[in-house]
Amino acid sequence: MNLLRVAAGLVAMMLGALSLLPATADTEVAEAAECVILLHGLARTSASMEEMQEALTDEGYFVVNDSYPSREYPIEELAPMAIVPALEKCEQAGSGDRISFVTHSLGGILVRYYMAHNELDAMGRVIMLGPPNQGSSAADSMRNIPGFDLLNGPAGGQLGKGEDSVPLSLGVPEFEFAVIAGDRTIDPVTSLMLPNPDDGKVSVADTRLEGMADFALVTVSHAYIMKDEEVIELVKQFLDDGRFEPAS
């Protein structure tokens, strides 16, 4: 019995000593995941970004994917309306140290507008999918067609190349960003209003923007670029490395 008591005492002493040692990598609390905010395009909802959300969540990111009323307000109101609540969710989740964005179409212009008027110390990287960075001539051609405002709202009329173009009023972004453009169209009527190549809504040339860290061209239409597997892989690469890996 004495031997058993001695052994038990030794075990207790060893456990006590171990508890005083610095925590190892296995016992440390994991750092909060980087936050990625997804912003859908005009006349779409967060459902259009669900494949992207799932893929990035699987990569370990904390992802915010919320709808915003893209057809009800001008860009000046939509930008803070879509972005501020998303930033708050990142902070509440403990993932506000670094915040990146993946945007589709209008979503990219919202980020550009917001960052032109606000500072974000935690700003990470931005990937824009099919953004009308130079405006879209299709928006100019179609805005006088009956029903355009009903379908596209005030923001739709601000995405052209005219005097009220918001994209053309914005300067070169000061954040790190890349652009992915599509060159396949499933909208032949709208494509007639655009310089070739185009994705059915925006010409490839008009997606480009001075200061890009990288650019990729994919054979995908505007409507489905955010769901494409190759595009999702490119997004993951840029979020990780700040560049697209060269094609093998």
Per-residue pLDDT tens for 167-195?
Answer: 999 999 999 999 999 999 998 889 999 99
Between 138 and 165, the more confident residue is 165
Domain limits for position 173: 33-241
Query: pLDDT-derived band of residue 32, with 50, 70 and 90 as boundaries?
Result: low
Position 153 in a domain? yes
Q: How many CA atoms lie within 13 A of 102 on its CB side?
A: 34
**Token pair of 68 as six digits:** 């915003």
Query: pLDDT-derived band of residue 145, with 50, 70 and 90 as boundaries?
Result: confident
Position 203 in a domain? yes
Position 18 in a domain? no
pLDDT of residue 62: 97
SS3 88: helix
Per-residue pLDDT tens for 82-133?
Answer: 999 999 999 999 999 999 999 999 999 999 999 999 999 999 999 999 999 9
pLDDT of residue 31: 57
**Mean pLDDT score, 1-16:** 48
Per-residue pLDDT tens for 42-61?
Answer: 999 999 999 999 999 999 99
In the block, residue with structure tokens 């990598």: 25
Position 134 in a domain? yes
Per-residue pLDDT tens for 215-226?
Answer: 999 999 999 999
**Token pair of 108 as six digits:** 């990219």
Position 130 in a domain? yes
Position 62 in a domain? yes
CATH of the domain at 123: 3.40.50.1820
Position 11 in a domain? no
Provide the number of structural domains found in the chain: 1
Position 15 in a domain? no
